[in-house]
Amino acid sequence: MLKEITAKSMLHHHERTFATNWDANIYRGCRHNCRYCFAQYSHKYLGGNDFFEDIYVKSNAPQILDKELSRAKWKKFPVNVCGVSDCYQPAEVEYKLMPAVIESFIRNRNPLVISTKSTLPVRDIHLIEELNKVAQVSMMTSVSTLDERKRILIEPEAAPTLERLKMLREFRKIGCQTSVLFMPVIPLISDDQENLDSIFRITKEYDLGSIEVWPLHLHGRTRGVFFAFLKKHFPELLNKYRELYTSGNVSDTYRIDLQQRVCDLREKYQLFGRYRQTPPSETDPVQLTLF
């Protein structure tokens, strides 16, 4: 179900810091259908049943953003337009809200953050380039595995991982700040050394600037959805996951081991993180952790 709704306001301040403290979500719900999606909890506030199917489209988002970004007291903080759901998800092909959103950022010379698993931003590259001349644009893509057979199971409606990284390279070429979000590293599924090394290597080869890494968290509703996914596709891992996830966070032993492997890769490729991150909590379970 796709449902147009009218937003009363768009800019939303949150305490967790990642790139910025300001979000503006163009859509609610996301058809990318990532089995580990941490944002599913957000749907209960809107009465939606299925985060992956019931998509709310804020059709007046560009107009409201224009009003809010032009207020005299607004301090031109960077705004992440993909905070809770992907602003370049499949619905954007039909609704084409992002060009008008970017135009409002251009008019107001306001920094923009886009974090996506789509290659659709290439459609708007000229607008993004124009904005980047007057206010910084930070482009990010999040990835979990270069193994396409696994990727199709884990993130079925997102773009192929390598295509996302190539897309990011195009934005790097036009001068945007770019970052790879290796999120999440999925224990026993996407944490093999070949996958970790390859994602670091490509990030370096494509000159994508920085890489953030954190392991899967399974808070709240995400836990049930992910365990159902495991039962269907990786039943042999169920018991190991029960051991690894006695809470929403992965075990300390796993986390510390991964941290060391990531440190080694940072050293090898001279690639570091850019953003200060705050840890997740059960009530605001955004998947941020700390390497």
Q: Which residues contact ligand SF4 by CB under 6 A? A: 30, 32-34, 37, 39, 85-86, 117
Instruction: Report the residue number, 34 or 113, with the smaller CB distance to ligand SF4.
Output: 34
CB under 8 Å to 169, separation ≥6 — which residues?
Answer: 178, 206, 207, 208
Nearest approach in angstroms of CB 37 to ligand SF4 is 3
Closer of 53 and 257 to ligand SF4 (Cβ)? 53
- Give the CA angle between residues 79, 83, 86 to the nearest 5°: 115
**Smallest separation (angstroms) from ligand SF4 to the CB of 58:** 15
And the tokens for 96?
């084409």
Name the residue nearer to ligand SF4 (CB basis): 228 or 263: 228
| Residue closer to ligand SF4, measured from CB, 92 or 265 | 92
Q: Which of 205, 216, 132, 210 is nearest to 171 (CA)?
A: 132
| Tokens found for residue 222 | 């995400």
Q: Which is nearer to ligand SF4, 108 or 178 (CB)?
A: 178
**Least CB distance from residue 86 to ligand SF4, whole Å?**
4
In the bound complex, what is the minimum distance in angstroms from residue 82's beta carbon to ligand SF4?
8
Q: Tell me the pairing of strands 55-58 and 2-5.
A: parallel
Residue with tokens 């959103």: 101
- Find the shortest distance in angstroms from Cβ 75 to ligand SF4: 27
- Across 203-228, b (16+ Cβ under 10 Å) vs e yields bbebebbbbbbbbbbbbbbbbebbbe
User: Minimum Å distance from CB 147 to ligand SF4?
Assistant: 17
Residue pointed to by tokens 């910025």: 20
Closer by beta carbon to ligand SF4, 62 or else 184: 184
